[in-house]
């Protein structure tokens, strides 16, 4: 995994999960400040786990012969 793929996978993961999480939090009636705190925690966890996420994506990219 090169740095470009790692950065791309991490940024895409953070953006995607932040949006999905925010929508879920709002539908469940959380206040905006609490939702923002949770979004920050989601972003941090995605940042820390971005490498594992990227390796998993690379595995499936090899299986399905996809290139970015």
Q: pLDDT tens, 28-61? A: 998 989 888 988 888 888 788 767 777 787 788 8
- How far out from the chain centre does Cα 16 lie? 6
Reading the block at residue 9, the tokens are 């996978």
3-state SS, residue 2:
coil
Q: Please determine, for residue 68, whether its predicted confidence score (pLDDT) is greater than 70.
A: no
What is the per-residue pLDDT across 4-17, written as a single tens digit (0 to 9) for each?
877 887 788 788 88
Minimal CA–CA distance to 39: which of 16, 5, 68, 61? 16
Instruction: Write down the pTM of the prediction.
Output: 0.62
pLDDT at 42: 81
Q: What are the helix (H) ranges across 1-68?
A: 3-27, 32-63
């Amino acid at each position: 995994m090169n740095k470009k793929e790692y950065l791309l996978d991490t940024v895409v993961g953070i953006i995607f999960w932040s949006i999905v999480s925010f929508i879920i939090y709002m539908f469940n009636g959380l206040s905006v400040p609490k939702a923002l705190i949770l979004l920050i925690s989601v972003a941090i966890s995605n940042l820390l786990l971005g490498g594992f996420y990227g390796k998993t994506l690379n595995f499936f990219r090899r299986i399905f012969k996809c290139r970015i």
